[in-house]
């Protein structure tokens, strides 16, 4: 990839870290408080704090980068077809957070429309240049810049070296639709006999960073949104892992497998 000459990626990363930490402080203050829900379904909760957090991130990022749009779980802000865009999940793991479970995070990625001589990461032509995931309850900051090592709290991290599935810890996600649940459950039952442990922890972005840092050996999801995976997927790659994803018919939705790169052939996304 040719070096980017338009946006200073270090400056962009610093801005994303600042925005993520600001929302992280808000999350810490509200973890054990009563939270107002804007919408509740059988398998999901949308909090008023989700919207407030995204607005806080938007204001913070657009002060330094007014020409860059924001694509987030809670909607769009700024230019909608700009060369660069921020991809934001203000609170990834909302259900955990709503129930007072301290396993949720802020996820922010910077993407650029891929040049003609380069390969896009995503079906709409964008590639991820920088990723920040901040987990405020353990105060863990995961960062990645395209082509550079991934870091946790400033220290370089690497994916695990485990090659045997029977020694591996895998995370698996259950998307919220009936179709995805029906497809994933049989594979879950198959995998549970082949691996050391399966984990379902409720935050896609954190599952990706756990793969990047060697805590998990792989993470599988049949239906996941761009804002859940854009930052964490890059961090996995920067840590030496493999991040495979494939677009589904739903806009900004993907099937994916993130792994240490040594277990990929033994894994699949449920049909």
pTM (two decimals): 0.93
Report the pLDDT value the prediction gives residue 4, as an integer from 0 to 100: 41
Q: Dump pLDDT digits (tens) for 177-221.
A: 778 788 888 889 999 999 999 999 999 999 999 999 999 999 999
Q: Could you tell me if residue 1 is inside a domain?
A: no
Report the pLDDT value the prediction gives residue 76, as an integer from 0 to 100: 82
The C-alpha atoms of residue 29 and residue 14 are separated, in whole angstroms, by: 23
The reply to whether 171 and 151 lie within a common domain is: no
**Pairing of β 169-173 and β 197-199:** parallel
Report the pLDDT value the prediction gives residue 180, as an integer from 0 to 100: 79
**Residue 55 scores a pLDDT above 70:** yes
The reply to whether 146 and 169 lie within a common domain is: no
Q: Could you tell me if residue 243 is inside a domain?
A: yes
The C-alpha atoms of residue 25 and residue 137 are separated, in whole angstroms, by: 9
Range of the domain at 182: 165-266
Exposure string over 150-181, b if 16+ CB within 10 A, otherwise e: bbbeeeebebbebeebeebbbbbbbbeeeebe
**Residue 71 scores a pLDDT above 90:** yes
Given 129, 156, 183, the domain boundary residue is 156
Report the pLDDT value the prediction gives residue 42, as an integer from 0 to 100: 63
The reply to whether 120 and 243 lie within a common domain is: no
Phi first, then psi, for residue 62 (nearest 5°) are -75, -15
The C-alpha atoms of residue 118 and residue 176 are separated, in whole angstroms, by: 34
Tell me how many domains the chain contains. Answer: 2
| CATH number of domain containing 260 | 3.40.190.80
The C-alpha atoms of residue 177 and residue 180 are separated, in whole angstroms, by: 5
The reply to whether 56 and 25 lie within a common domain is: yes
The reply to whether 130 and 19 lie within a common domain is: yes
The reply to whether 150 and 169 lie within a common domain is: no
């Amino acid at each position: 990839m040719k070096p980017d000459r338009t946006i200073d990626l270090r400056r962009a990363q610093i801005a994303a870290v600042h925005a993520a930490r600001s929302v992280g402080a808000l999350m810490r203050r509200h973890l054990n408080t009563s939270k107002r829900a804007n919408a509740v379904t059988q398998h999901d909760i949308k909090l008023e704090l989700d919207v407030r957090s995204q607005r806080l991130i938007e204001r913070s990022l657009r002060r330094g980068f007014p020409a860059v749009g924001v694509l987030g779980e809670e909607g769009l802000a700024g230019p909608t077809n700009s060369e660069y865009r921020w991809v934001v999940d203000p609170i990834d793991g909302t259900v955990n957070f709503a129930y007072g479970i301290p396993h949720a995070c802020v996820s922010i990625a910077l993407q650029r429309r891929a040049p003609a001589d380069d390969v896009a990461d995503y079906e709409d032509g964008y590639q991820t240049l920088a990723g920040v995931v901040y987990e405020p309850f353990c105060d863990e900051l995961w960062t990645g810049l395209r082509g550079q090592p991934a870091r946790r709290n400033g220290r370089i991290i690497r994916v695990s070296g485990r090659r045997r599935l029977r020694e591996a810890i895998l995370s698996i996600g259950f998307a919220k639709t009936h179709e995805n649940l029906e497809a994933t459950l049989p594979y879950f039952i198959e995998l549970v006999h082949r691996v050391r442990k399966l984990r379902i922890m409720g935050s896609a972005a954190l599952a990706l960073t756990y793969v990047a840092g060697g805590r998990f050996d792989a993470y599988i999801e049949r239906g996941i949104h761009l804002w859940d995976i854009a930052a964490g997927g890059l961090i996995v790659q920067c840590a030496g892992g493999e991040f495979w994803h494939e677009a589904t018919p739903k806009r900004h939705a993907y099937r994916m497998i993130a792994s240490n790169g040594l277990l990929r052939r033994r894994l699949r996304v449920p049909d």
